[in-house]
Structure 1
Amino acid sequence: MLLNKKLFLASPLIKISYIIGGWRIFFNYGTLETIKYQRSNEMKKNYPAAPILPQRFASDFYLEDEASFEAVHGLEMDFSYLTCENLVIRHSILEKVTMQRTKLIRFEAGNVVFKNCDFSNLEWIGGSFHQVVFENCKLTGCNFAESYLRDCHFKDSLINFGSFSATNLKNVWFENCQLSDGEFFEVTWKHLFLEKNNLENSNWQRTKLAGLDFTSNSFSKIACSMEQLKGLKVDSYQALVIAAGLGLEIVEG
């Protein structure tokens, strides 16, 4: 269990905490220090670092080319069918925000929490994501292709038909997500964690699989490159599924 570090001064303070995506966020009013946004259970080695959020949030958020936002809390907004270039958002929370079929070109997010958002068919090709949490979001058909993701956590989210092709993933965690028909083609990764996801009919061709653990995930069909299979951890059923997908004929003795 992680204990919240004392950030307060000698004067009396009000301390409030609540949970977002399995992490506990601590507000220490009366100080100037940044909030410590921590997991409520023990941090596992190489799992994503938590976002760092400010004490207070501004209310204004909108889509505009070259706009940069810091410490905003966007709530129940709709920016669907829009195009925006070079948008930057840092140390913020977007909650119940809708951006269906929106195009965010050269998008950058750092220390951001997306909670209960609908980003269906959103395109942020070539984006940059650093210490970002997606919790209970709808990301169906979302296109992350050629993006850079570091210390990102996808939790309880719908990402069916999502594309992560040619992405660079470092310390990224998919937890209890729907990833069926997802594209993970030519992914470069380090410390990628997959836990309790639906990987049905996902494509992992030309992606290094050594060190990945599929055992807690489910699938009855999946595409992998034969030359990249060495070192992949699977259970016996998953091994048969992968073998069948490579054209082997399984004969029961």
Structure 2
Amino acid sequence: MKIDNPKIPEDLTEKRFTDIFYEEDTEFEMCMVTDSEFADERLERMRLYKTVIRNCNLKNTDFSRIDLTDVCFENCDLSNANLGNASMNRVEFLNCKLLGCNLTDSYIGNTRFRESILNMVAFGNSKLEKVIFDDAALESVDLFDCKLKKVEFLSCNLNGANFEETPLKGIDISSSHFDSLTVSIENLKGCIISTSQAIQFASLFGLKIKQ
């Protein structure tokens, strides 16, 4: 599946994350933010546009209603950050840690999570459209009542993931692995799975397979 990648110019202005407090509007545009400490802060309705965030500590920060367009996060720690009601388009998270992050009630489009940790992330009631999870850790991730459209899980750890009330028709999880999932038979219809996963689901739903 092809998604639109972030469109970021080469000529970026260097900033530190704390510089946002001195901006007229809470936004960075065409910026490079590197090696910044911005943990345990509160910054609602922030806007990032055509910006690279690299090697930053953003743990426990309240970024609710954040607006991200053409943004790349590299080697960042967003563990337990609040990104509820976020809007994302053409965003990439590369080698990032989003452990326990809140992304409920969000729109996430043309976004790639590559080689990142998303264990226990809450996506509940969000719409994900053209999203690729690539070699991502998604243990105990909560995707309750989400709308998934053109979403791929490539070689991910989905153990303990919750897909309750989320239709998986057309979603390919065949290259990913898990011991258990929370999903109903009804919502599993049309999901693309591997042969070994079919056996797993059969046992999860109480079927006994006779060789």
TM-score with structure 2 length normalisation? 0.93
Alpha-carbon offset, residue 237 of structure 1 = 2.1
Q: Which residue of 2 aligns with 1:6?
A: none
Query: Counterpart in 1 of 2:10?
Result: 55
Q: 1:223, 1:242 within 8 Å by CA — same for their partners in 2? A: no
Partner of 1:145: 104
Q: Deviations over 1:54-84 (max 9, x none)?
A: 2311112334495111011000111111111
| Cα distance per residue 1:31-53 (max 9 Å; x no partner) | xxxxxxxxxxxxx4xx2201111
Q: Report the counterpart of residue 99 of structure 1 in structure 2.
A: 58
Distance in 2, Cα, partners of 1:185 & 1:242: 19
The equivalent residue for 2:122 is 163
Q: Which has the higher contact order (CA 8 A, sep 6+)?
A: 2
1:251 to partner: Cα distance: 4.2
| Whole-Å separation in 2 of the counterparts to 1:121 and 1:185 | 18
| SS of residue matched to 1:69 | strand
Residues 131-142 of structure 1 correspond to what in structure 2 (within 5 A)?
131-142=90-101
Instruction: Tell me the SS of whatever aligns to 2:197.
Output: helix
SS of residue paired to 1:131 = strand
Matched position secondary structure for 2:83: coil
Partner residue in 2 for 1:201:
160
Report the counterpart of residue 130 of structure 1 in structure 2: 89
Any conservation in 2 of the 1:224–1:242 contact (CA below 8 Å)?
no
Equivalent residue for 1:216, pick from 164, 171, 175: 175
- 2:73 maps to 1:118: no
Judge which range, 56-65 or 138-147, deviates more: 56-65
Measured after TM superposition, the shift of residue 239 of structure 1 is 1.7
Counterpart amino acid of residue 14 in structure 2: S
CA RMSD, Structure 1 to Structure 2 (Å): 1.5
Q: What's the CA shift string for 1:186-231, capped at 9, x where partnerless? A: 1112111111100011011111111011110011111112211111
- Report the Cα distance in structure 2 between the residues aligned to 1:187 and 1:241, rounded to whole angstroms: 23
Which structure 1 residue ranges, 5 or more long, are not aligned?
Answer: 1-43
Q: Deviations over 1:73-128 (max 9, x none)?
A: 00011111111111101001000011111111211110000000011111110001
Counterpart mapping for 1:167-246 below 5 A: 167-246=126-205
Shift of 1:233: 1.2
Identity %: 27
| Structure index of larger Rg | 1
Ranges in structure 2 where 5+ consecutive residues have no aligned partner: none
Q: Which has the higher helix share?
A: 2
State the partner residue of 1:86: 45
Contact 1:222 1:241 in 2 (8 A): no
- Shift in Å at residue 252 of structure 1? 2.8
**Equivalent residue pairs, number:** 207
